[in-house]
Amino acid sequence: MEDRVRDAGLASTSHWCNLKRNEAPDIRPQTEVPMLQRDAQFTSRICWFAAGLLAGALAASLCAALGMRRARQVADDDDAATAQDPRAMVRASISPESGSDMFEYRGFVVHLFWQALGRERYKAWCDIWEAGAVVQEAGGPPATYPTAAEARMAAGAWARHWVQNNG
């Protein structure tokens, strides 16, 4: 019997020393919690867990609703702005956000770059190469333009002017 108790790991060493040879060990817990009290503790934990889940779900729903409302307001403002000026919608659909182009002029290779700075504001610049080396980097007209095409044309004209005067 002692071997079974020792193998099961149910008796502590201090208790094991005090056992008599034919006596069965008492393996009941020292303090026994009544069944109803354990169920009440378990139910209380479940209720708090459920309350936390519910509060998290409500907070997430509120944030999603507010975000959708803000997105609708921004979309309505953009629609109102394009409804007042139909040319703005055409320009926005035609003009890319940024771009690049390349051409050769009098033995120089010109790389043009343009980028949108905001609504109807484009900036352009260029790099001018000769024999595989950059001779003018990030040069260009100091102005902004309402369309990408105008910015590209101005940067190309600036590059031609630079090549004519410095080439």
Among the listed residues 47, 56, 140, 72, the one whose alpha carbon sits nearest the alpha carbon of residue 100: 140
Which positions ≥6 away from 159 have C-beta within 8 Å? 105, 108, 110, 112, 126, 128, 139, 140
Q: Which whole-number Å values give the CA distances from 160 to 67, 95, 104, 124, 155, in the listed order? A: 50, 23, 10, 14, 9
pLDDT digits (tens, 9 = 90+) for 32-57: 556 666 666 767 777 777 788 888 88
| Residue found by looking up tokens 């975000």 in the block | 67
What is the percent of the chain with per-residue pLDDT over 70, rounded to a whole number? 63
Give, in order, the Cα–Cα distances in Å from 70 to each of 57, 59, 64, 75, 79: 20, 17, 10, 9, 14
Instruction: Convert the pLDDT of each residue in 75-120 to its tens digit.
Output: 777 666 555 655 555 555 555 678 899 999 999 999 999 999 888 8
> What does pTM read for this prediction?
0.44
What are the sequence ranges of the domains in the chain?
Answer: 93-166
Per-residue pLDDT tens over the stretch 123-161? 999 999 999 899 988 888 888 899 888 999 999 999 999
